[in-house]
Amino acid sequence: MVKDKRGALLLAYITGLIIFIESSITSLVSGTVARPLTDKYNVSREKLAYVCDSTSAPVCGLIPLNGWGAMLMGVIGVQIANGVVDGNSAELLAKSLPFQFYSIIAILAVGYYILTGNDWGPMAKAEKRASEKGLLLREGATPMVSEEATATPPKEGVTPKMRNMLLPVFVLIAMMPLSLYITGEGNILQGSGSTSVFWAVITAVAFAGFLYVLQGIMSLQEYIDYVYQGIGAIVPVAILLITAFAIGNVIGYLETGEYMASLVEGRVSGAFGPAIVFIMASLMAFATGTSWGTFGIMMPIGIQMAVAMGAPLYPTIGAVVSGGIMGDHCSPISDTTIISSMASASDHIDHVNTQLPYALANGAVALVLYLAAGFIM
C-alpha cells in the first residue's frame, strides 16, 4: 500500500519500468495511475512529469521488444544490406544496449531522486512549494489538462474498488501487443505504434464504460459526458502535438541532419566518434522534437562515420539511441515530453524547465562515458 510521497512516486516509477510496449502508453499509464496519490501526498506535478518522462523512452530503448526495436533494427539492417557493416541487425542492436549510457543513467537517476529526495535546481523549488504550501502547480501555471478534468469529485454512494481502476488499465496494456500483432500482419515488431495506441485507448475507454454502467456506478449518458469532458481537456495537447510534428517535418525537409554530419565527418579521430555522434543526435532530437526521426537520420550517418573514422561500432549505435532520447527529454516540442506533461497534468514549460537540468547532468555523464568508450575500445 502507498503510504507516503516516496511510495506514490515509486508506483509511477515501477509502472514505467514494467510497461515497455510503447513510450506514450508508458507515460499515460504511469501518470494516470499515480497522479491521485502524488496529489494526495503533495508531490509537485513537475516531479511526477519527470518520473513519467524518464521511464518512457529510456525503458523502451533498452528493452526493444516493441516498435522501437523494429524501427532500430530496420535502419541498422539497411546499412547491412548496403554493405556498410556486416552482421545481423538484431545482434548489432543487442550488443549496443550496454552502451545506451544516457538511458541507463536517466533511469538510475530518477530512482535515486525518488528514494533520497535530494532534488536540486528548479525541481527542488517545485518540491518545496508543493510540500510546504500544498501548491502542486506554481501560481499562474497552465496545466496541460484542466483542473476540471483532473479534480472530478468522488461519486456519492459508491464504494471505491481497486478493480475499477486496474481493469481498464490492464485492458489498455493487453491491447497494445494485440494491436501491434494485427497492424503488423502477424509480426508484432512490424506493427504501427500510433495506430496500436489509438486502438488500445479506445478499447480501454469502451471497457471502462461497460464496467461502470454494468455495476450501476453511473448511467451511460453520465459516462459519455465524462468522456467528452476528457476529450475537451486534451484538445490543447493535440494542437501542440500537431505543431510539433509540423516543425519536425520542416527541419527534415531542410536536411539539417545531413548538414550537421558533414561538419565533422572525416575531420576528427575515430576515438571521438561515439561522443560526437551522441552530441549530434542530441542536438538533432532537441531541434526536431523526435527521437525516431533522429534515429532514421543519425543511424546511417553514425554507422558510416564509425566505419570511415575507425570508431567502435557498438558504442556509436548506442550513442545514436541515447542522443535521440536525451534531445527528446530536453525538447519542448517532443511528443513524449508533451504527453508526460499531459499525463501528470503539469504545466508543460514548467516540466521542461525542471527536467532540463537533470537531463543535461545525465547527458554530461553519458558524454564522458562515450569518450572513455571511444578511447578504450
Contact 57, 102 (CB under 8 A): no
The mean-pLDDT minimum among 12-26, 58-72, 115-129, 229-243 falls in 229-243
pLDDT, one tens digit per residue, over 159-218 is: 777 788 778 878 877 887 888 788 888 876 666 656 776 788 889 889 988 998 888 888
**Which residues make beta-bridge pairs with 143?**
347
Using pLDDT thresholds of 50, 70 and 90, give the confidence band for residue 321: very high
Contact 264, 297 (CB under 8 A): no
Task: Phi first, then psi: give them for residue 268, nearest 5 degrees.
Answer: -135, 165
H helices then E strands: how many in the chain? 19, 0
**Residue 106 in grid coordinates:** 536517466
The mean-pLDDT minimum among 97-106, 264-273, 323-332 falls in 264-273
For residue 57, pLDDT over 80 is answered with yes
Q: Which residue would you say has higher pLDDT here, 227 or 112?
A: 112
Give CA–CA dist 243/238, Å, rounded. 9
* Per-residue CA distances from 215 to 154, 159, 165, 212, 218 (Å): 16, 11, 14, 5, 8
For residue 323, pLDDT over 90 is answered with yes
Using pLDDT thresholds of 50, 70 and 90, give the confidence band for residue 293: confident
Q: Which residue would you say has higher pLDDT here, 125 or 266?
A: 125
**Residue 31 in grid coordinates:** 501518470
Collapsed DSSP state (helix, strand, coil) of residue 347: strand
Please report, to the nearest 10 degrees, the dihedral formed by the alpha carbons of residues 85, 290, 71, 79 taken in order.
-20
pLDDT of residue 53: 94
**Residue 35 in grid coordinates:** 497522479
Percentage of the chain beyond pLDDT 70 is: 84
pTM: 0.77
pLDDT, one tens digit per residue, over 120-171 is: 999 999 999 999 999 999 988 888 765 555 555 666 667 777 788 778 878 8
Total Cβ atoms within 10 A of residue 250: 11
Total Cβ atoms within 10 A of residue 80: 16
pLDDT of residue 318: 96
Q: What average pLDDT does the chain have?
A: 84
Using pLDDT thresholds of 50, 70 and 90, give the confidence band for residue 75: confident
Domains of the chain, by residue range, sit at 5-145+234-376, 146-233
Contact 374, 271 (CB under 8 A): yes
Sorted by sequence, the CB contacts under 8 Å of residue 164 that are 6+ apart come out as 211, 212, 215, 217
Total Cβ atoms within 10 A of residue 160: 8
Closest Cα to residue 295, out of 337, 331, 327? 327
pLDDT of residue 71: 75
pLDDT of residue 291: 84
The mean-pLDDT minimum among 140-154, 236-250, 325-339 falls in 236-250
Give CA–CA dist 263/95, Å, rounded. 28
The mean-pLDDT minimum among 61-70, 201-210, 258-267, 323-332 falls in 258-267
Contact 280, 320 (CB under 8 A): no
Q: Is 186 left (phi over 0), alpha (psi -120 to 50) or beta?
A: left
pLDDT of residue 238: 66
Using pLDDT thresholds of 50, 70 and 90, give the confidence band for residue 85: confident
pLDDT of residue 116: 94
Q: Across residues 321-347, what is the average pLDDT?
A: 90
Sorted by sequence, the CB contacts under 8 Å of residue 272 that are 6+ apart come out as 311, 371, 374
Sorted by sequence, the CB contacts under 8 Å of residue 167 that are 6+ apart come out as 207, 208, 211
Q: Across residues 86-104, what is the average pLDDT?
A: 90
Using pLDDT thresholds of 50, 70 and 90, give the confidence band for residue 372: very high
Give CA–CA dist 370/356, Å, rounded. 20
